[in-house]
Amino acid sequence: MKYTITTLACAVILGACSAPAAPPVAATDSTAVASTPPEQNAIGLYKGDFGGAPIFITINYTSPNHLAGYNVHKGLRRNLSGAMKQEGDSWVISLNEPGDHPYDGHFELVFDKEFTTAKAHWTPLDKKTLQEKSFTLSRVKHTDGTEDASVLNYPFTSDQGEMYFDEDGSCLFDYYPKLTDTTNAEQSITLKGTWEQRGDTIRVNWQPNEQFPKRNSIFILQFNEDKSYSTGLEGEDITFNKMVAG
């Protein structure tokens, strides 16, 4: 009986020793983060000097094979569509305007790897009457905490109409043309432009219009007595008051 028990114990021990080892468990890194696809880094708002007036290019959609957005220049907004490829440490983006406007063309943008600046070139579809343009684009960064000295997010009202500024560089002046010194037309006109702010000065480049024939306007921000917040704009012999909900 003792021999039988000893034999069984040895068999159990030998069986345990010969059993296959469990496969190792792969180690996981809890800090690992999926990398952002490179085309998503292109999403943003970019600004440049296009023939002496600011141009704003917005890229708001990307996929591995397609990019889309729009540009705004002197109030004219055109949709953009194209693709992106890598060349060394740079990213080359080709964007086409629709082609149904006399000022449409093709953009070639060569970005640094961080998508902060780009060397840009525009080729018009109509090369007989329009010239190619080369310029530099920079990513626009809106500084937080400066709303009191900014024209963003606030409409400005005057006796002639209202002015609106958008963060994509576009602006609108919805106004009633003056018929006499004391009367305005009953039908409003919407005038489009592009704007940029430098300190307290707002510069606007307008589309062709009768209200501002020079097409370049300068408006100065107005402030309260201790200059803690802006109260309106003045320029072109028009006084605008900031409309604040409250």
Mean pLDDT of 160-173: 93
Gap between the Cα atoms of 244 and 218, Å rounded: 22
Structural domain including 222 reads: 147-242
| Residue 28 lies inside a defined structural domain of this protein | no
What CATH code is carried by the domain that includes residue 125?
2.40.128.30
pLDDT class for 38, splitting at 50, 70, 90?
confident
**DSSP-assigned letters across all residues of 190-211:** EEEEEEEEETTEEEEEEPS-SS
DSSP class of residue 89?
A: T
| Residue 12 lies inside a defined structural domain of this protein | no
User: pLDDT tens across 186-219, in order?
Assistant: 899 999 999 999 989 999 999 999 999 999 999 9
User: CA dihedral in degrees (104, 73, 206, 163; nearest 10)?
Assistant: 130
| Residue 17 lies inside a defined structural domain of this protein | no
| Residue 205 lies inside a defined structural domain of this protein | yes
| Residue 235 lies inside a defined structural domain of this protein | yes
Residue of higher predicted confidence among 11 and 212: 212
Residue of higher predicted confidence among 226 and 208: 208
Q: Which residues contact 16 (CB under 8 A, 6 or more apart)?
A: none
The percent of residues above 70 in pLDDT, for the chain, comes to: 82
Mean pLDDT of 100-104: 96
Gap between the Cα atoms of 82 and 110, Å rounded: 13
What CATH code is carried by the domain that includes residue 163?
2.40.128.280
| Residue 13 lies inside a defined structural domain of this protein | no
Give the domain-ending residue among 72, 107, 139. 139
pTM to 2 decimal places? 0.76
Q: Are 167 and 189 part of one and the same domain?
A: yes
pLDDT of 220 above 60: yes
Q: Are 127 and 207 part of one and the same domain?
A: no
Residue of higher predicted confidence among 184 and 222: 222
| Residue 24 lies inside a defined structural domain of this protein | no
- Total domain count, the chain: 2
